[in-house]
Structure 1
């Protein structure tokens, strides 16, 4: 397996400096980067006992040392390492790209900037869409359309094998089981992310997950997908179901449409919540009641009803009704509902339920403001003040779920004075238990390495954030950041735990997933389970590594992590963990700062100003040049033109270029209009660094021939508007910034023509979609791309609408900027 190694990246970045990368010493960094005002800590680890005093930060572009700091006290051995230190550079806040150095050992690229997390939450939403059942937008196909037949429903008047329609929702992980508990929790987190951070999410997808804005934030579309399924799993007051399918699903690696394992064709069993023990391999599970599952429904339904009250009033009323009936169902028999397993001993062994009841009562209080609801929420809060895993160093699989007490947060927000302080103190107690363990090691790792440890890590970081937000006490800021850093590389293995994030980082490549294993489909944004105690790993059934362990030198008697599809314990992505991650990532985004996409390209300016940039590209077609120039001149609007070397060298364009250069930005678009990345696999780079560099240099030289200096052409828009992380990185190494048009805009489809079939977009439809986007989301900071020329087979040229577009945007209060100005002021 070939992996991108940060040590190799660092070596390539510093070819101008002679150095030796020690193979027994490493510096672990957060590969996503650090916000200027956040805690910024790298961790130095070694297999030799070394005494350190100082470290330094070096600017990658200038090769100058910009910061020197003292290392922490030594933390000693941890995992495979015999010595470790924390390297705190929080005092340095200048945006840019740097490397941490200790002697001759250098880290990979350290990014500092307000927008280092921007776009990450949207990126993780890709995995949620990929997990959809019924219609799956990633596969553009449907699956599990026959779900399902009822089991354990006799007391509700549903004999075994009764057919019921429960199609929809998300597959739970890389298997295709579906659980009400994890889905309700995931739905809650998506709804809360929209409620708490509405401005960080885009609208580029339809409700069915396919391309196209629909006026609804994509995260809300995804949350509603979850709500729709929960309504099917609780269709009437007397019916509530806990799961679809069981561990017979694990018979083989396959795609989701291939599930004939239950004796009834493609139908799968649907397990009714009866509050009694049900199947668990050769035994029965430890179900004691109906509360844990039903109460989770209440929280999701109440939050959904609140957020959708104005846009979908009828749907909101239905959610309110189901919240009440689920609330009643939770009281049928107080206790916990565990999941079912037929062949193996592994289940979601949830053992606590009072936290779910607290959430139910807290959200009922929020909806109806009845004092009795508040009183009961407070009572349940006292019964489990601290989520039990925080006190312990181990637990069974999903024994304490959710991994964060959501009820404390929803309740505390509605309280004042001593009542509020008391509930927040419960959060503090839990944080202190973890901090007591974390302060003993350089990674500040206090979360136990139980199955799905990454899910716990995300939840704990959210708890720290919620405690700080509601109490004003920020003493755990570094601990919170350490848990975020852990997920993106500040861990013994130096890897991100999120598939494809960041795009140029060391991230999972071989997860336990049929999508990747069978078809090499990327599972973008999926959070993998994470490291487990070595003792757990050695006692699990059916694990076999299929390739040499690339992290072998970082495994230890304490904990292991394997990027190998044969290890379902550490490298399987989970839907609910990813949903929680989406909330955490959204909390880190800065909605008003410059926005970058997953590859690192800048795609939007500041989102708190009504400013836009018009961008035009040209290579061999430029039939709209006169129309565009006159529209800009008539409306006194500056714009930006990205031109290929071939366009620049064509003598027929010389006077046009000369006129443009007086008022507008002119920058490179690639000398020969090369395709840099494969259309069908964007991660595949089609040019090597030398070819790309020469192509860019030739383009800049062609600009220079027209009097445009390289320093005045520092923004690059790649050919075909198509690139990947390699191209972004190589562009930065040449001292340029790579940009693209803002996602969600469709004006770039003005090149299409009727013979393209479904891909064709008429100018009228582009106009309609453009202003729909403006009316529903606004265009603040948007980069609007229009082609200077298009194929002759397209008769309705969108550039002919430019004059009207400018006039209309001015009426709506927008100011036009050159793109280099939009992104730098």
Structure 2
């Protein structure tokens, strides 16, 4: 068994992908695309040889005609990227399942794409409004992967991307009746041997002299840690997804009995039920009254040492430890609990009241301890998630508390924050768990509040300006990705999806179709229109990632274990090559090509809650069917 003690330094990182040159090391990122290879624990040399064989097979199957392999919406943009050095336009044909030509046209020469290192053309068949399965785009004698054109294209992904969080639940059995037998498992970390449980967890030495019940919540990623700052942004995105849909009049698709979770049928929207599983955990991480740092939030809880791959949650025998409180974690708690108070109120007023009390307490504690930072060195057994810039977290928390209460003290904290007028709140590389000012900005732009009209107008204008910037970035690229060519870092797919959320918010504010089109083209990138000709979402597309870094979804290392469930998003290209597999296999890759579908490549191929949360948000947005806005 191979064990990689990965750092999880900044999971919000940006990544990149390989170029289209099949013979280069960059193309090795396609290794194991077929997913049929199972690597049992064994010699590294044998694993390397198997990777080479899988790489060769995958490279031979790659087509230069790159499409969204899941498909396209009838009323949305329909564009493909064609890898070609031709300096003149090429003829394209859209063919139906029968082979008949449904539409035809000429490509637009785009030339060199900096991120992929490829010469590209654009094929645009948006004018075609027919529907059906099994279309292919044929350019210069080469066919794309097959795809559908249908209005319900994203309905399944809306459900599957949200279901990811039930799969990741800690402290409860994952039921076969809800996820199928392959992904079912007993409850993890409930104190049944060999687990030591999360109901009575001690602190690291020197942090506290008592224990805390911190059961529940979501496992953060491929490990068994639970981190407040990462869980906070993830829970916020799920709740915000519902709140956005409610404002748009489309919340029924996220309502009660729409997800495969145990709480279905309880009268509460299922997305809120799922978020509550994490919110309850976040509130359990608050330091009790009468203790040092009362009201603050412990930064994280995880194993005392890294566990190997694979390790089923219920078989994890490591001691669990609470790590010292931090200002960032406390402000995450304040922000998410305040959002809870606002959004949950119509469904569970008592719970909303409890959330608001927790939020107020956390805010006061953070004000009293404004510079208590998680140490960068605390990365044994779990990620450090260190963050020494927390003024953005203060702004986010103040915005949520103001939106929830309308109280002057929180409004003053909003308007006096430098982030309130800073252009840095919404950046080209996107928001993430460590950079949260954008979350406050999005809340103030969309939730009714009593800021002066001119102030609200400026906040909203900043959102549309940022969205226009993302559209401009996409327009200058061969693959229409809303991050710059130098933005492919750890978790680049979360930067991509978070920037698409900004565009979707701009659409909600203005009704202008270009923003919706930008969101849908972002989905194209995630689902196969990229230099790897690969869908990053398990179960979606002709060829998709299926060996993501995870201790239970570890079929590549143990044939008795499953691959990730459908709807799981891989982290994506990472030009930093921050794991041994990436360093061995991807040296020299172009930015958008630095990805490998290998369970050992935690810096390019892990899953996390804060990557799947924006995917779920976007899938719900893309799945909506309503009369188009002018």
Q: State the TM-score, normalized to the length of structure 2.
A: 0.76
Q: CA deviation at 1:477?
A: 4.5
CA contact (8 A) 2:234 2:609 kept: yes
Question: Offset of 1:351 from its aligned partner?
Answer: 4.5
Find the counterpart in structure 1 of residue 186 from structure 2.
141
* d(CA) in 1 for partners of 2:424, 2:322: 33
* Residues 307 and 381, structure 2, Cα contact 8 Å, conserved in 1: no
Q: Report if the CA contact (8 A) 1:386-1:426 is conserved.
A: no
Superposed, 1:133-212 pairs within 5 Å as 133-138=170-175, 139-145=184-190, 146-147=197-198, 148-151=200-203, 160-197=208-245, 198-201=251-254, 203-204=256-257, 209-210=261-262
Instruction: Using the TM superposition, name which of 25-34 and 413-422 deviates more.
Output: 413-422
**Does 2:553 match 1:520?**
no
Q: Does 1:31 align with 2:69?
A: yes
Contact 1:95 1:111 in 2 (8 A): yes
Matches of residues 657-736 of structure 1 in structure 2 within 5 Å?
A: none
SS of residue matched to 1:42: strand
**Distance in 2 separating the partners of 1:558 and 1:528:** 14
On the 8 A contact 2:159/2:258 being kept in 1, the answer is no
Partners of 1:498 and 1:508 within 8 A in 2: yes
Q: CA RMSD in A?
A: 3.4
What is residue 458 of structure 1 aligned with on the other side?
Answer: 497
The aligned residue for residue 360 of structure 1 is 397
Structure 1 gaps of 5+ residues are 6-20, 263-267, 276-289, 594-825
2:442 corresponding residue in structure 1: 409
SS at match of 1:76: strand
Q: Counterparts of 1:351 and 1:452 in 2: how far apart (Å)?
A: 20
In 1, distance between residues paired with 2:125 and 2:259?
Answer: 43
Pair 1:369–1:231, CA change in 2 (3 A):
same
Q: What is residue 3 of structure 1 aligned with on the other side?
A: 34
Alignment partners' CA distance in 2, 1:554 and 1:71: 30
The 1:195–1:475 alpha-carbon spacing in structure 2 relative to 1, beyond 3 Å, is: closer
Residue in 1 that maps onto 2:179: none
CA contact (8 A) 1:149 1:161 kept: no
Residue 302 of structure 1, aligned match among 338, 341, 348? 338
Matches within 5 A, 1:263-274: 268-273=320-325
Decide which moves more: 371-380 or 492-501: 371-380
Q: Are the structure 2 counterparts of residues 592 and 515 from structure 1 closer, same or farther at C-alpha, using a change threshold of 3 Å?
A: farther
1:321 paired with 2:374, answer no
- Secondary structure at the aligned position of 1:386 is classed as helix
Correspondence list, 1:470-485, <5 A: 470-485=509-524
2:105 alignment counterpart: 69
Provide closer, same or farther for how the CA distance between residues 335 and 56 of structure 1 changes in structure 2, counting only shifts above 3 A.
farther
Match of 2:311 among 251, 254, 258: 254
Over 3 Å counting, the alpha-carbon distance change for 1:566 and 1:443 in structure 2 is: same
* Partner in structure 1 of residue 478 of structure 2: 442
* Closer/same/farther in 2, CA of residues 76 and 205 from structure 1, 3 Å limit: closer
Q: Matches of 1:336 and 1:117 in 2, distance apart?
A: 43
**TM-aligned CA deviation for residue 386 of structure 1:** 2.4
Separation in structure 2 between the aligned mates of residue 510 and residue 433 of structure 1, nearest angstrom: 34
What is residue 496 of structure 1 aligned with on the other side? 535
Residue equivalent to 1:573? 607
2:610 is equivalent to residue 559 of structure 1:
no
Task: Quote how far apart the aligned CAs of 1:136 are.
Answer: 3.2
Call closer, same or farther: CA 1:316–1:339 in 2, change over 3 Å: farther
Distance 1:473 1:212 in 2: 35
The 8 Å contact of residues 64 and 142 in structure 2, kept in 1 or not, is answered as yes
Deviation at 1:232, TM superposition (A): 0.8
Structure 1 partner of 2:93: 56
CA contact (8 A) 1:512 1:567 kept: yes
- 2:253, 2:203 → 1: CA distance? 42
Which residue matches 1:418?
454
The match for 2:616 among 575, 579, 582 is: 582
| Counterpart residue number, 1:713 | none
Aligned with 2:387 (options 334, 338, 350): 350
Counterparts in 2 of 1:40 and 1:374: CA distance versus 1, 3 Å? farther
Show the 5 A alignment for 1:584-623: 584-590=618-624
Of 180-189 and 304-313, deviating more is: 304-313
How many matched pairs?
Answer: 535
Residue 118 (structure 1) aligned to one of 155, 158, 163: 155
Question: Structure 1 232/205 Cα, relative in aligned 2: closer, same or farther at 3 Å?
Answer: farther
Show the counterpart of 1:101: 138
**d(CA) in 1 for partners of 2:148, 2:613:** 25
Measured in 2, the distance between the counterparts of 1:498 and 1:347 equals 27
Residue-by-residue CA offset, 1:675-729 (whole Å, 9 max, x unaligned): xxxxxxxxxxxxxxxxxxxxxxxxxxxxxxxxxxxxxxxxxxxxxxxxxxxxxxx
In 1, Cα distance between equivalents of 2:573 and 2:388 = 23
Q: 2:572 aligns with which of 515, 530, 547?
A: 530
- Runs of 4+ aligned residues of structure 1 deviating over 6 Å after TM superposition are 21-24
Normalised by the size of structure 1, how large is the TM-score? 0.59
CA contact (8 A) 2:304 2:318 kept: no
Contact 2:307 2:316 in 1 (8 A): no
Deviation by residue 1:41-90 (Cα, 9 ceiling, x = unmatched)? 111114x44532432222224x3322223322322245565420121122
Aligned to 2:29: none
